[in-house]
Structure 1
Amino acid sequence: MTPGKRALDLLLALLLAIPLAPVALVLAILILIRDGRPVFYVSERMKTVSEPFQLWKFRTMTTVDTDSGVSGGDKAARLTKHGRFLRRTRMDEIPQLWNVLRGDISFVGPRPPLRLYVQRFPELYVEVLKSRPGITGLATLYFHRHEERLLSKCTTPQETDAVYSRRCVPRKAALDLIYRDRRSVGMDLRLIAMTAARAAGRDLKSCGLPGSRRERPGKSA
């Protein structure tokens, strides 16, 4: 991570932490009252092909003892009522400001992968993870909704894993490698603005920002 990118992460994290602190407190109380403990979902993710870390989110699903794998597909039925809202607005990711401050992740970069997929596709992820993982990025903006549609047809953990491995990992990696080759502070600011617009329910094209046509995975991957 370049000094400029790290400085931007720290500045944005500190600026956002102040107004989002009361929001996070309210959300934590609501989750505790409505859905019970735990309030947070903590999952091991990979910073590099050999370096794991603990990623923090607000919990959006009912808990099970054998939870593993990606969060879509067969797990969709476990989403809580408030969890759907938190995911749609991306407020479930507010706790990740802590991960940004620690340097585990950046604001912009590939989504931090599970160890399972890093071990399954080591040659691919050694290239992808040359960029610090991030809260948002090209793959998040241009492929996430298509990924949800692909996984929505899965009814078992095995089917979810197969579809994610075969149809999602390669396409997301292609976008992540485009980001790796073109990344800059200016590009990061642009992707952050696009992410904020989408979280607010605005179409990327309506914001004067390109990207809505590239959301077709067949074209962008």
Structure 2
Amino acid sequence: MKASSVEQRVATSNQLLTMDQVNADLSYLRMKRLVDIIGSLLGLILLSPIILIVAILIKIESPKGSVFFKQVRVGKGETTFQMYKFRSMITDAEDRLKDLLELNEVSGAMFKMKDDPRITRIGKFIRKTSIDELPQLWNVLKGEMSLVGPRPPLLREVEEYSSYDKQRLLVTPGCTGLWQISGRSNLSFNEMVKLDLKYIANRSIWFDIRIIFKTAFALISSKDAY
């Protein structure tokens, strides 16, 4: 079987993709949006007891802090939006980041630190189990994110992107993707980009469903999350 034009271009870094190329399949995009709407609505309804319990626990541990944490992220076409998460860090975490940048444990335009001192006690649990990501179902319902796609980066990360890296911004960002089921925090930035471009080249509804199911199994073990 011959590779598609998207797959061929993904395999060669000097042949960059365009938004028209990756979004040419309108039937897939419409079906994907329908799945996102149904999936996010069901998730918000069925998981509402967990959402409520986590919100209470966060408030008990840190009464003066907010339950939710919102942050500007970069989405499809380099547009920005407010992404929601449960707050898993101390209230002045962003201000303290500059003192930790030299301790970054991954290469490239991304910050990861396994024993980040800014993380709260309840924060360690919800990050380990990815429960902190549940509020992003609201972003999915709004159309800013999808259930499956590349993770939306921070503005400061995109400032370090090459033209090759920016190809991951040609599609709607997702709550989960190949990165999460292929090693997650143990992977480098370059490996994450390669996985995102592999996903873009092979996108289909069945591929999305496979990733969602594999994500569920990955969350049960949660060994690569921090």
Whether TM-score is above 0.5 comes out as: yes
Pairwise CA distance, 1:109:
0.7
Partner of 1:52: 80
Cα RMSD after superposing both structures: 2.2
- TM-score for the superposition, normalised by structure 2: 0.75
Among the aligned pairs, what percent are the same residue?
36
Deviates more, 1:126-135 or 1:185-194: 126-135
Deviates more, 1:70-79 or 1:25-34: 70-79
* 1:84 maps onto 2:111 in alignment: no
* C-alpha distance after superposition, 1:7-31 (max 9, x if no partner): 1111111111111112211211110
Task: Check 1:172–1:75 CA distance in 2 against 1; reply closer, same or farther (3 A cut).
Answer: same
Paired AA for residue 180 in structure 2 = T
Greater C-alpha Rg = 2
Partner of 2:205: 185
* C-alpha distance after superposition, 1:153-172 (max 9, x if no partner): xxxxxxxxxxxxxxx32211
Partner of 1:66: 95
Unaligned runs of 5+ in 1: 148-167, 204-214, 216-221
Task: Check 1:179–1:74 CA distance in 2 against 1; reply closer, same or farther (3 A cut).
Answer: closer
- TM-score for the superposition, normalised by structure 1: 0.76
Task: Map 1:4-153 onto structure 2 (within 5 A).
Answer: 4-36=31-63, 37-64=65-92, 66=95, 72-73=112-113, 76-147=116-187
Higher relative contact order (CA 8 A, sep 6+): 2
Pairwise CA distance, 1:145:
3.3
Paired AA for residue 190 in structure 2 = P
Consecutive aligned runs of 4 or more in structure 1 exceeding 3 Å deviation: 67-71
Partner of 1:159: none
Query: 1:60·1:86 contact (CA, 8 Å) conserved in 2?
Result: yes
Pairwise CA distance, 1:202:
7.8
Query: 2:128·2:222 contact (CA, 8 Å) conserved in 1?
Result: no
* C-alpha distance after superposition, 1:79-107 (max 9, x if no partner): 11111110111111111010000111111
- Partner-residue secondary structure (3-state), 1:112: coil
Partner of 1:170: 190
Cα distance in 2 between the residues matched to 1:6 and 1:75? 37
Query: 1:109·1:135 contact (CA, 8 Å) conserved in 2?
Result: yes
- Partner-residue secondary structure (3-state), 2:117: helix
Cα distance in 2 between the residues matched to 1:39 and 1:92? 10
Cα distance in 2 between the residues matched to 1:137 and 1:177? 11
